[in-house]
Amino acid sequence: MIEIKDLHKSYKIGKNLLHVLKGININIEAGELVAIMGSSGSGKSTLLNILGMLDVADKGSYTLDKVPIKDLDETKAAKYRNKFLGFVFQSFNLINYKTALENVTLPLYYQKAGRKERHIKAMQYLEKVGLADWASHLPSELSGGQKQRIAIARALAAEPKVLLADEPTGALDSTTSYEVMQLIQEINDEGKTILVVTHEKDIAHMCKRIVQLKDGVIIEDTKINQVRASEYV
């Protein structure tokens, strides 16, 4: 599903160049649930943003679902992003003046779905994350865990091939974190390819594979026996 070869990324800071990714090589198959771990500043978000086509690498190759991601103009990039990728962020990134349902409906506009179809699909995904009864509520009326579930429903509504989550539990207490990870596990059990960036070991151990980043390279890549959320809470 994802093939990365010798990926490099630097940021210019004044006159200096900060070399963040120094030759990343990784293959991720369809259906995997991968944690990307590493301390703060190790380049996790940079890597995820490149995978998510929100940023581009300086060097190296990236193939997503057999499509080489290279030199795409913004229109094409947006098209692929919408078709292939769903995003979940630490801070949820919901639109505050829109209801839960409207938030989940949003990506469906970009896919040019009709009004009725948008509503049906969005309700279906709200149900999936256990929040159908909260459809008409605003984000301010929801708990952190509920907000993240809405964000997950929104990401899924576009039916992406890959779900990218950058510290999805970073703003949640541990019980809620495990619940959100359990939902992510359930979505993965249905076949979705998912990458979760985290710096928390217990969260990483709820994934099937842990990739450890340090100083811009992968220092460890381990398949693990999946640990269930229920064993933690």
Picked from Mg ion, ligand ADP, none, the partner binding residue 68 (CB below 5 to 8 A depending on kind) is none
Q: Determine which residue in the list 6, 11, 70, 78 makes contact with ligand ADP, applying CB under 6 A.
A: 11
Q: Determine which residue in the list 2, 35, 44, 64 makes contact with ligand ADP, applying CB under 6 A.
A: 44
Nearer to Mg ion, 45 or 176 (CB): 45
Token representation of residue 203: 């969260």
Q: How many CB atoms lie within 10 A of CB 110?
A: 13
What do you get for the CA distance between the two ends of the chain, in Å?
32
Q: Is 46 in the site for Mg ion (CB under 5 A)?
A: no
Q: Is 40 in the site for ligand ADP (CB under 6 A)?
A: yes
Token representation of residue 131: 């929040």
The Cα 42–Cα 213 span in angstroms is 6
Question: CB–CB of 34/209 below 8 Å?
Answer: yes
Restricting to residues 192-221, name those near ligand ADP by CB under 6 A. Answer: none
DSSP 62: E
Restricting to residues 124-143, name those near ligand ADP by CB under 6 A. Answer: none
Q: Tell me the number of residues near ligand ADP by CB under 6 A.
A: 12
Q: Determine which residue in the list 45, 146, 148, 176 makes contact with Mg ion, applying CB under 5 A.
A: 45
Distances (CA, A) of 117 to 120, 156, 208: 5, 15, 34
Interface residues toward ligand ADP, by CB under 6 A: 11, 13, 18, 20, 38, 40-46
